[in-house]
Amino acid sequence: METQTLLRIDFNNMMAEAIGEHGITEEELASYLPMAKTAARAMVEKRPSMKWRELPHNQAEVVKQLNECAEYVRGNFDDFVVLGIGGSALGPIAVQQALNHLHYNDLPKEKRNGSRLFVEDNVDPERMNALLDVIDLERAAFNVITKSGSTSETMAQLLIVFDLLKERLGGDYASRIIATTDEHKGNLIKIAGEYNLKTFHVPDGVGGRFSELCPVGLLAAAVCGIDISALLKGAARMDEVCSEPDVYRNGAYMAALLQYISMKRGKNISVMMPYADSLKYMSDWYAQLWAESLGKRFDLSGKDVFVGQTPVKALGVTDQHSQVQLYVEGPFDKVVTFLGVDEYRSTYAIPRGFEHIPDVSFLGGHTLNELIKAEQEATEYALMRAGRPSFSITLPKVTPETIGALLYFFEVMTAFAGELLSINAFDQPGVEGGKQATYALLGKPGFDEKREELKNAPAKNPRYII
């Protein structure tokens, strides 16, 4: 089967057979199958509106342009700086960490496949200053990414970079800036037109957290030498698998269903725990996807439901020494997803030594590969013995294909979970309040009312300040 070469999901440790009362029985799972069938039908019916599902299939021309642009950047600039936040940043970071050298930026130029990559997803003034200490502006290109063109953080960064480049380079400065934004709407496309910026488009109907496989994520990847066609090919193959209506043959649907049942049973926390440094930031990307898509007040009928499962990022084996005590002994409130690989891309032998100390010398003759895999197996086993639900997703190896597949898998899983929860997985109305308050505080035109509201907020009680 196609799936097996892309990824494998094992949910034995979700089941009552393995973990007892906190597990799901075969009967319970069966009772949800009609619901899953309905959701699967909805996924087919709604597919035309889920434009992100077509990204693996409809970008041949864009990929060519992206690769050309990437080659130009690689050939002309030492540093490539992404100005973006949320969906415009987490994907590029995750894919770079997965597919490039783990100390990519520290490598000498001749050992890298492209420019150094900096993803600037915060507006801390100390960080902007720190960035400028380590890049050479005259040898840097910038990719400003915001679909709406109204993301304050990103537009503030753009104002800064425009100004710096203009001062430093004079006339030609706009050639250093590549815009990725909506084709028709918003401020950035307007600016891009006026300054004749090289521009890529975020396709219609592709929201931020579902945009990694469009130019939002693909340009940075291509600049760093990643094979973006292979990424998309993996996603396309995963699309086939994820179009299977039977949950027992569709890992993304099954994973969503298992999480849905778990949520119903009070497991409000989803831990994502890769056992590979390369997959570390996949958890951050997943955390946005899962949190922002499913964390919703209203269901589709407008009823208050306040649903959502809180993603927690962990890293194996590192967080065995930080979080596993809680996972094994704390409340029965979480599902752990192990994210593993069958084969690491390199091997490291542990030499023999300290032979007179058997407590140490037993490690010699093994490899780090064996050690990390044994630890994953041991942690899965320990959680199982403690009656804690978990499932594992295993990539045969981390490659552009399997990473493309994994991204697509999580996207389908999330969309399907949205169907099961009967919520809109594609909006984020809950962030509006905070945005408006920020605008009001900074004096954006049109927010006088909010400004008044903030002024009239109840005074702080000094008794509650220590």
Q: Which of residues 310-369 bind a copy of itself (CB under 8 A)?
A: 310, 312-313, 315, 317-318, 320-334, 344-348, 350-354, 357-360, 362-364, 366-369
Residue 219 touches a copy of itself, criterion: CB under 8 A: no
Q: What is the DSSP letter of 350?
A: P
CB atoms within 10 A of CB 173: 18
Q: Min. distance of Cβ 432 from a copy of itself in angstroms?
A: 9
Q: Which of 185, 373, 435, 444 is catalytic?
A: 435
CA distance 186 to 24: 48
Contact window for a copy of itself (CB under 8 A) among 4-12, 47-55, 212-220, 231-239: 4-12
Assigned token pair, 291: 């949190």
Q: Which CB, 86 or 92, lies closer to a copy of itself?
A: 86
In order of 41, 79, 197, the CA distances from 137 in angstroms are: 52, 8, 17
What's the Rg (C-alpha) of the chain? Answer: 24
- Is 287 a binding residue for a copy of itself by CB under 8 A? The answer is yes
CB of 360 to a copy of itself, least distance (A): 5
What count of residues does the chain have? Answer: 466
Q: Does 159 bind a copy of itself (CB under 8 A)?
A: yes
Minimum CB–partner distance for residue 399 and a copy of itself (Å): 13
Interior angle at CA 69, CA 176 and CA 145, nearest 5: 60
**Minimal distance, residue 68 CB to a copy of itself, in Å:** 29
CA torsion 377-259-290-52 (nearest 10°) is 100
Q: Which of residues 240-279 bind a copy of itself (CB under 8 A)?
A: 248-251, 254, 268-269, 275-278
Q: Taking CB under 8 A as the rule, which mask of x and - marks residues 366-405 in contact with a copy of itself?
A: xxxxxxx-xx-xxx-xx--xx-------------------
Compute CA distances 263 → 269, 332, 334, whole Å.
8, 12, 9
Residues 6+ apart with CB under 8 A from 458: none
What mask of x and - would describe binding to a copy of itself in positions 168 to 207, judged by CB under 8 A?
Answer: -------------------x--xx----------------
Could you tell me which residues are beta bridge partners of residue 298? 304
Q: Which of 32, 77, 162, 408 binds a copy of itself (CB under 8 A)?
A: 162
Q: Is 429 in the site for a copy of itself (CB under 8 A)?
A: yes
User: Can you read off the two tokens belonging to residue 120?
Assistant: 């600037």
Choose the binding region for a copy of itself from 37-45, 57-65, 217-225, 422-430 (rule: CB under 8 A): 422-430
Name the one range near a copy of itself by CB under 8 A: 31-39, 60-68, 85-93, 412-420. 85-93
CB nearer to a copy of itself: pick between 34 and 458:
458
List the catalytic residue out of 321, 356, 455, 460. 321
The answer to whether residue 78 forms part of the interface with a copy of itself (CB under 8 A) is no
Q: Which of 86, 340, 389, 404 binds a copy of itself (CB under 8 A)?
A: 86
Q: What single-letter DSSP state applies at residue 461?
A: P
| CA 271 centroid distance within chain | 14
Q: Which of 137, 160, 169, 230 binds a copy of itself (CB under 8 A)?
A: 160
**Cα 245 to Cα 426: distance, rounded to the nearest angstrom:** 21
Phi, psi values for residue 307, rounded to 5°: -100, 175
Helix 448-455 / helix 432-442 crossing angle, nearest 10 deg = 90
Which one among 27, 45, 434, 455 touches a copy of itself, defined by CB under 8 A? 434
Distance of CA 244 to CAs 30, 52, 270, 403, Å?
18, 18, 25, 20
Q: Which of 138, 441, 449, 452 binds a copy of itself (CB under 8 A)?
A: 441
Cα torsion at 301, 306, 308, 314 (round to 10°)? 170
CB atoms within 10 A of CB 255: 25
Count residues near a copy of itself (CB under 8 A): 154
Among 33, 44, 300, 431, binds a copy of itself (CB under 8 A): 431
435 is catalytic: yes
H, E, C per residue of 384-421: HHCCCCEEEEEECCCCHHHHHHHHHHHHHHHHHHHHHH
Q: Residues 224 to 243: which contact a copy of itself by CB under 8 A? A: none
CB nearer to a copy of itself: pick between 14 and 226: 14
Residue 133 contacts a copy of itself per CB under 8 A: yes
| Least distance between a copy of itself and beta carbon 82 (Å) | 13
Contact 139, 264 (CB under 8 A): no
Least distance to a copy of itself, CB of residue 356, Å: 9
Q: Catalytic amino acids?
A: 292, 321, 435
